[in-house]
């Protein structure tokens, strides 16, 4: 049981880091193009994990596994590395944070649906009740306690990109169940990042960015690139992949409902925004939903 609580704690850190990634992606939308941020994020992430990879990886085993399971590893790399965050950064160029956080909250529902369709997982009443409670908490939080505000939301191109990114992440989480069993977490993550960079590189180089431009961009924004590379990539992906292996994609995805709450907290500390009473009510519904899904529902 102690091991399970550790997984929950690491999952909480994971979505906290991803919440920061959303805020930063919106904050620097005029400084770095989405493809640039995604490319340098994963290149630096790969450099950061190399020392651990050398120590904990069996390179021959990874090469053999990649050859034998090339299709599923490529699909996971394209979905989780090449596409997901790139599309999120594209979406944050045009959509408002309110829309993005609200729409992103459909991820747990998509995971449940894909789990039924692909993994043939059953859904019980407690899970449904927990999901509805968490979703209501997210909607209540994002709409600032005024449900009537949902009529004022206007879908933009960025909102459609967020829907696509949420679908991609849900599919990645489900398909992670089919990863090669012989690869440990470090080997799997390193392999996926390596393949993801390969698939992302042609699109990046096709843009024709000059070396001088990229050097200036990195110098001006290096703290943000380090954050999204280490905290939102290396640590978060390790925590998420480990949680999928330990408790499954359905329970893990429930923690995505914490992102709007964390977004409000981060905005309070870093953007000077106030924490209102609706934040507390929304947090209560989210906590109840996660409790029902994790502790009362049967596997």
pLDDT category at 102 given cuts 50, 70, 90 is low
Number of domains in the chain: 1
In this prediction, residue 70 carries a pLDDT of: 97
Q: How far is residue 214's CA from residue 208's CA, in Å, rounded to a whole number? A: 11
Other beta carbons within 10 Å of 184: 14
In this prediction, residue 231 carries a pLDDT of: 95
Indicate whether 259 pLDDT > 90: no
86-98, pLDDT tens digit by residue?
Answer: 999 999 888 766 5
Q: How far is residue 16's CA from residue 231's CA, in Å, rounded to a whole number? A: 9
172-184, pLDDT tens digit by residue?
Answer: 999 999 999 999 8
In this prediction, residue 299 carries a pLDDT of: 47
Residue predicted with more confidence, 54 or 153: 54
In this prediction, residue 285 carries a pLDDT of: 81
Instruction: Look up the domain containing 248 and give its range.
Output: 1-296
189-230, pLDDT tens digit by residue?
Answer: 999 999 999 999 999 999 998 989 999 999 999 999 999 999
Entry pTM: 0.83
Calculated CA dihedral for residues 239, 242, 248, 252, nearest 10 degrees: -10
Average pLDDT, integer, range 241-245:
89
In this prediction, residue 202 carries a pLDDT of: 96
Residue predicted with more confidence, 252 or 171: 171
Give me the helices (H) in the chain, please: 2-27, 34-56, 59-68, 70-77, 84-91, 97-104, 107-118, 125-142, 157-175, 185-206, 211-229, 236-247, 249-253, 259-270, 277-291
130-148, pLDDT tens digit by residue?
Answer: 778 877 877 776 676 777 7
Average pLDDT, integer, range 267-289:
73
Nearest Cα neighbor of 21 from 108, 91, 77 is 91
Indicate whether 111 pLDDT > 50: yes
Q: How far is residue 295's CA from residue 149's CA, in Å, rounded to a whole number? A: 33
Calculated CA dihedral for residues 113, 116, 119, 124, nearest 10 degrees: 110
Q: How many residues does the chain have?
A: 299
């Amino acid at each position: 049981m102690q091991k399970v609580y550790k997984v929950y704690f690491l999952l909480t850190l994971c979505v906290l880091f991803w919440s920061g990634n959303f805020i930063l992606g919106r904050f620097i939308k005029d400084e770095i193009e989405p493809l640039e941020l995604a490319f340098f994020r994963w290149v630096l992430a790969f450099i950061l994990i190399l020392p651990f990879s050398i120590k904990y990886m069996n390179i021959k085993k990874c090469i053999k596994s990649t050859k034998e399971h090339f299709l599923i590893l490529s699909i996971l790399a394209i979905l989780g590395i090449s596409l997901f965050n790139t599309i999120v950064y594209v979406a944050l160029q045009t959509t408002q944070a309110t829309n993005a956080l609200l729409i992103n909250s459909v991820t747990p529902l998509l995971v449940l649906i894909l789990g039924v369709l692909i993994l043939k997982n059953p859904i019980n009443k407690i899970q449904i009740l927990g999901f509805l409670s968490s979703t209501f908490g997210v909607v209540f939080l994002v709409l600032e306690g005024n449900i009537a505000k949902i009529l004022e939301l206007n879908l933009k191109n960025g909102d459609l990109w967020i829907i696509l990114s949420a679908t991609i992440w849900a599919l990645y989480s489900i398909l992670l169940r089919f990863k090669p069993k012989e690869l440990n977490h470090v080997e799997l993550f390193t392999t996926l990042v390596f393949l993801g960079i390969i698939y992302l590189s042609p699109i990046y180089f096709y843009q024709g960015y000059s070396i001088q431009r990229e050097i200036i961009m990195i110098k001006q924004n290096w703290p943000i690139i380090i954050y999204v590379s280490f905290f939102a990539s290396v640590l978060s992906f390790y925590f998420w992949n480990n949680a999928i292996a330990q408790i499954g994609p359905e329970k893990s995805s429930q923690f995505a409902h914490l992102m709007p709450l964390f977004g409000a907290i981060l905005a309070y500390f870093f953007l000077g925004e106030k924490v209102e009473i609706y934040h507390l009510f929304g947090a209560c519904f989210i906590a109840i939903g996660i409790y029902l899904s994790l502790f009362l529902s049967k596997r």
